[in-house]
Structure 1
C-alpha cells in the first residue's frame, strides 16, 4: 500500500505542514546563533543594552518557534487523522463487498483487529512519527551545515562518527521490522481471543470454562509480551548505542574546542554555538533512530492492511454480457443440473445435479437430513457462492449474468437465527428499506404480529436493542425479522428454519406472521419440522446433495421412503 497515494489529494495541507516544519526547524537552528550573540556581544562586552537587545531577539525567536510548532502539530495531526480515516473507509468498503466465502476462511475478529489496531498505528506514525523524522532530518542536515560554518576542524570529528551511527541503525532496523510484524500479529491474537470468549460468555460460564480460558488467554498475552520484549530490546539497544556514540563525540568536541578557546583560536560564543548544534545534530540522529522503529511497525501494519485490500471478490457483476431484471419480477426460479462443491471439501459435492422449477407465487419446501444441501441451495440463490456446475435462473436470466445487487433486491431472507443489529427497533425494521414511512413500518409490524409488543416497550419503535437484539425473546426477535422482510416487499421469500428454535406458542404466532408474508410471493422454505410445511404447494426431498423426490405431503408419504421415515419419526413422537 502506498501512503503517498492517500496523501496525494491533500497537497495543500501537506504544503502547510511542510512550511511550518521548515519554519520551526529554521527558528530552532537560529537559536544557536542567538546563544552565540548573547555570549559574545552581551556577556563578553559587559553592555547592558547589548545584552537586553540580544535577549529580546532570543525571546522573539522563542515566540516564533511556539507559533510555528502549533501550526506544524495541527496540520501534521490533521493529515494523520484524515489519511487513516480514508484508509479505514477504503478497507471497510472493500471488505463489505467481499463474497461471504472469504469470511468463512478468515477469522472475522482478526479482520476487525486489522481495521482498528493496525490503522491506529498508521495514524500515530503519519500524524506524529513522520513529522518527527522529517523535522529531525532537517535539523540534522541544517545543524551539520552550521557546524562547518562555526568550526570546520571540530566538524570533521562529527563526520568520523557518522558511519558508526548509521551502521547500527541499518542492522537493528531490519530486526525491528520483522519483530514489529510479529508483534502486531500477536496483539491481533489477543483481541481475537477476547472477542471470541466474550461473544460466547453464556456458554463459557455454563460449562465453567473460565479457568481454562484464563489459562489460554494468559498464554496468548505472554506470547504477545515475549515478542514485544524482543522488539523493545532491539530498539533499546539501537537507541543506547546511538546515544553513546553521539554524546561521546560531543564530549570529544568539547575537549578539543575547550583547548581552542583557552588558546584563543575561537571565542566562547562560537564554542557554545558549536556545542548547541552538536547537541541538536546528536538529538536529531537519536530521534531518527527511534522513529525508525515506529516506521518499521507501521510497515508491518501496512502489510497486514494490504493483504485485506488485495483480497479479491469472487462474486461480481460480469464484465461483459451484463443483464438487468425488471423493476418487479414475477419470481420464477429454475435450477438447471445444479452442482456445487465447497473449496475446503472438494471430495464431497454439497449439491449434485439438482433440477427444479418454482412457479411464481408458489411455495416450495426443502426437507431432508442435516447436511443434505438445503442451506447451500439458498446461498447459491443469493449468489453468496457461484455454482460449480449447471446454473440458476430467475425469470429466465442466469444469475451469473446479473449484478449481485440487482439480484438480491428480489429476495427477502428470514433465517433460523434472527439477524438484528445494535440500534433502535425502527432502524432494524428499515434495514431493507431505509426510506420507508412510519406508517409502512407500523403496518409491517402489525402484519408480523409485532406491533403490540413493540408498543409495550419503554420507547416503542425507538427502543434501542443490544447486540444481536439482546433483551428480546426468541419469538420477538423472529417477528422483527419477519416485519423487516414484509417491509422490504421482495417478490421472492427465503425462509431458513424460521421457526425451529421457538416454543409452541411463539411458533404459532410467528407462523401466522409468515403466512401474511408468504401471500402472493414465491417462497422457498427450509424446515426440519414437517408439520410446518405440510401445506406447501410442493415439497422437495434432498439427501446427500441430491434431489431424491418431490411432490405434496401425501404423495411423498406414499412414494418416498426417506420422507415417510422422517414423517413417522416426527409425527409418532408428537402423537
Structure 2
C-alpha cells in the first residue's frame, strides 16, 4: 500500500520537473540572473587554473591580435602616404605587402585566440557541470523537498551555458576591446590631438542613443525568448499528457490556447524587430555622420598641410576602432553581469552540504552482512513538515532473515521506515542500527549496497532492458542479468519485444505495462542479491496471474534474507513472519495474521475486514472464514 502522506511533499519527479504554468514566469526570471558584483567571477579561476598553458597562449594570441589591428592603421598610413601620394610604384608594392603581412598575422592570431578561448570556455563549463552534478546527486532527499527540480536543472543548463558564453567569448572580447580602446586612444593622440578632442566630444553623443535603443532591444529579446519558452512549455505539458488531453476531448481548447501563445510570441518578435531596425538605422546615421564630420575637419587639415592624407586615413581607422571597442565593452558588461548572477547560483549549489553526513572514518559492516535491524525510540519529522511527526517514539527489532510486513492507513509512517533504513534522512531522536552499527557511523554507500528496493512505482530508465536490470549491479554479466529476468518472470514479455532485451524501454518505461515495469524492478532487486530487501507493495500493479508468478519469485528471493514489506494485499500479509500495524507514526499492534485477527476491534481487523469483504464479493474466503482459521 502506498504511503502518500508520509512521502515528502514536492518530491515527486513529475511535479518537480514540470512546473505549473503559474510558476513558469517566475522560473524563467531566475533563469536569467544578474549581479552587479562582478568580483564573483574571480571564483571561476579555480576551474580555469588547471589549464594555465592554454590561458597563457590565448592571452598571447589576444595581445598579438589586438596589436595587429592597431598596426593596420600604420599600414594604411604607409599605403596612402608612401604608395599613393608619392607616386612610387615600388613603395606602393612594399606598402601593400606590409599590409598583407599584418592581415595574415591578424588572421593567424585571431584563429588561435578564438580556438583557445572557446576551448577553455567549453572545458571549464564541462568541469563546472560535472562538479555541480556530482554535488547535487549526493544531496539528501530532504534538499529536494524545499528546492524545485526545475530550478536545479536550470542551473545545470541555462546558468552553465551563460558561463560558457562568458568564459569562452565575452571575457576575451572584453579584454580585446580594452586593449583596442587604450591602444587606439593613444595612437589617436599621437596622430592628431585636435581631432582626438573632437572624437572624445562626439563619441558620447553617438553612444547614448545606441545604449538607449540597445537596452530596449535586449529587453525585447529577453521578452521574445520568454514568449518562445511559453510556447515550448505548453507543447511539453500537452504532449506529456496526451492521453489525458484526448480522453477529455481537450484538443480544440488546447489548440486555441497554443495559438494565443504563438500569436503572443509573434507580436513580441515584431516589437523586437522594430526596435532592432530603429537601432540599426540610428547607428548608421550617427556613426557615418560622425565619420563625415571628422573627415570634413580632417580634410581641411590635409588641405592646409597640417596632417598628411595617410595620417587622416589612419586617424579615421583608429576612431572607428575606439568607437567599436566602447560599444562592444558596453554590451559585454551586460553579459558579465548575467554571468556573475549565474556564478552565484552555481556556487550556492556547490557550497550546499548534504544533511546526510559521511563519517570521516566510517565503521565497516561485518561480512557477511546479516541484515539485523533495530529502531530504538526513533522520532522523525520531514523537513517540509516539521510540525507533523512521521514517526514518534518508534521502536522495532527485526532479526536476520525475518519477514516483517508493515500495514496501516495512509500516512501511518510505513514508507518513512524504509526512507530511514536507506538513510535518506536521519532521525531527530533515538537511534537506528544495522547489524549492531548506528547508521550515522556507516558510509551510506556501503549501507545502501546491502539493501535492495522494489518501490510501488518503479523507475524505468530510457534505455534497454539490459541496462535497466543491470542497474541493480552494474558489473553483473549477461548470464546473471538473464537469470534475474527469468526469476522475476520478465523474459516472457521481454523476448517478445521487437529487439528482445535490446529493445528501448521508452521514456519512463512507457512501452511497458505497469505490471511489466514492476517485474523489471523486481529483476533489478534479484540481481542485487541484497542482505535486506525492502518491498513497497511490490505486487500492487500486477494482475492475478502476474501476481502469482512474481510472488513466487519474491518468495524465493526472500529466503535467507531480512525482508520488510509494506503490505496491503492479502497474499503479501499472509507470507510475513510478523505483522507490524502502524497508525500516526506509532506501532499500535504486532503479531501474526491469525493473532491480529482475533482482536475484532483492532485496527488490523478493521483493515482486513475491508479487504476480505471485497474478496468475498469475488468469491474468495470471507473475513469470518479466515478469522475462524
Q: Distance in 2 between matches of 1:490 and 1:50?
A: 87
Residue of structure 2 equivalent to 1:493: 533
Instruction: Rate the CA distance shift 1:177–1:280 in 2: closer, same or farther, 3 A.
Output: closer
SS at match of 2:512: coil
Is the partner of 1:355 in helix, strand or coil? strand
Contact between 1:242 and 1:286, CA under 8 Å: does it hold in 2?
Answer: no
1:329 to 369, 384, 387: 369
Cα deviation, 1:30-68, whole Å, max 9, x if unaligned, reads 111111111111111112222122112212222222222
Query: 1:365 is paired with a residue of what secondary structure?
Result: strand
Distance 1:477 1:550 in 2: 32
> How many residues in Structure 1 have an aligned counterpart in Structure 2?
574
Residue in 2 that maps onto 1:459: 499
Instruction: From the superposition, tell whether residues 224 and 452 of structure 1 become closer, same or farther in structure 2 (CA, over 3 Å).
Output: same
Find the residue that maps to 2:124 and give its secondary structure.
helix
Q: 1:439: which partner in 2?
A: 479
Residue 487 of structure 1 deviates from its aligned partner by 1.0
**Do residues 28 (structure 1) and 69 (structure 2) align?**
yes
Is residue 375–residue 431 contact of structure 2 (8 Å, CA) maintained in 1?
A: yes
Partner in structure 1 of residue 24 of structure 2? none
Q: 3-state DSSP class of the match of 1:432?
A: coil
Note the C-alpha offset of 1:173. Answer: 11
1:169 deviation in Å? 10
The answer on 1:85 being equivalent to 2:126 is yes
Q: Distance in 1 between matches of 2:200 and 2:410?
A: 76
- The equivalent residue for 2:442 is 402
Q: Are 1:553 and 2:587 matched, yes or no?
A: no
Instruction: State the SS of the aligned residue for 2:471.
Output: helix
Deviation at 1:85, TM superposition (A): 0.6
Q: Distance in 2 between matches of 1:8 and 1:215?
A: 53
Gaps of 5+ in 2: 1-39, 617-629
Q: 1:254 to 1:169 in 2, by over 3 A?
A: closer
Moved more, 545-554 or 395-404: 395-404
Calculate the TM-score normalised by the size of structure 2.
0.83
Determine the structure 2 residue equivalent to 1:112: 153
Which position in structure 2 is the counterpart of 1:102? 143
CA distance in 2, matches of 1:252, 1:242: 15
| Distance of aligned partners of 1:84 and 1:500 in 2 relative to their CA distance in 1, 3 Å threshold | same
Instruction: Specify which of 272, 275, 283 is matched with residue 324 of structure 2.
Output: 283
Task: Verify the 8 A CA contact 1:420 1:428 in the aligned structure 2.
Answer: yes
Does the C-alpha gap of structure 1 residues 344 and 216 become closer, same or farther in structure 2, counting only changes over 3 Å?
farther
Distance 1:173 1:261, change over 3 A: closer
Question: Structure 1 residue 302 and structure 2 residue 343: aligned?
Answer: yes
The more displaced of 288-297 and 92-101 is 288-297
Could you tell me how far 1:283 is from its partner in structure 2? 1.1
The answer to whether the 8 Å contact 2:145/2:384 transfers is: no
Residues 480 and 284 of structure 1: is their aligned pair in 2 closer, same or farther, counting only changes over 3 Å?
same
2:177·2:328 contact (CA, 8 Å) conserved in 1?
yes
Between the aligned partners of 1:462 and 1:325, the Cα distance in structure 2 is 37
Larger CA deviation: 248-257 vs 230-239? 230-239
3-state secondary structure, aligned to 1:423: coil
Structure 1 CA distance for aligned equivalents of residues 416 and 233 of structure 2: 28
| Residues 403/446 of structure 1: CA separation in 2 closer, same or farther (3 Å cut) | same
**Equivalences for residues 244-283 of structure 1 within 5 A:** 250-283=291-324
TM-superposed deviation, 1:241: 8.7
Q: How does 1:150-299 map to 2 (within 5 A)?
A: 150-160=191-201, 197-209=238-250, 250-299=291-340
SS in structure 2 at match of 1:322: coil
- CA distance in 1 between partners of 2:216 and 2:426 (Å): 44
Alpha-carbon shift at residue 229 of structure 1 (Å): 10
State the Cα distance separating 1:247 from its structure 2 match: 6.0
Corresponding position of 2:575: 535
How far off its partner does 1:547 sit?
A: 0.8
Summarize the Cα distance change of 1:304–1:247 in structure 2 as closer, same or farther, 3 Å threshold: farther
**How many Å apart are 1:302 and its aligned residue?**
2.5
TM-superposition CA deviations, 1:303-345 (whole Å, max 9, x none): 33233323331112135x7322124311111111122112332
- Within 1, Cα distance between the matches of 2:478 and 2:206? 70
**Alpha-carbon offset, residue 348 of structure 1:** 2.2
Counterparts of residues 122-137 of structure 1 (less than 5 Å): 122-137=163-178
1:344 aligned partner: 384
Q: Normalising to structure 1: TM-score of the pair?
A: 0.90
Aligned mates of 1:328, 1:179 — CA distance in 2: 65
Q: Greater CA deviation, 464-473 or 261-270?
A: 464-473
Tell me: CA distance 1:384–1:219, structure 2 relative to 1, closer, same or farther (3 Å): farther
The reply to whether residue 393 of structure 1 matches residue 433 of structure 2 is yes
**Structure 2 CA distance for aligned equivalents of residues 510 and 282 of structure 1:** 75
Matched, 1:139 2:177: no
Aligned to 1:50: 91
In structure 2, distance between residues paired with 1:190 and 1:101: 32
Out of 37, 49, 68, the position equivalent to 1:8 is 49
- The corresponding residue for 1:450 is 490
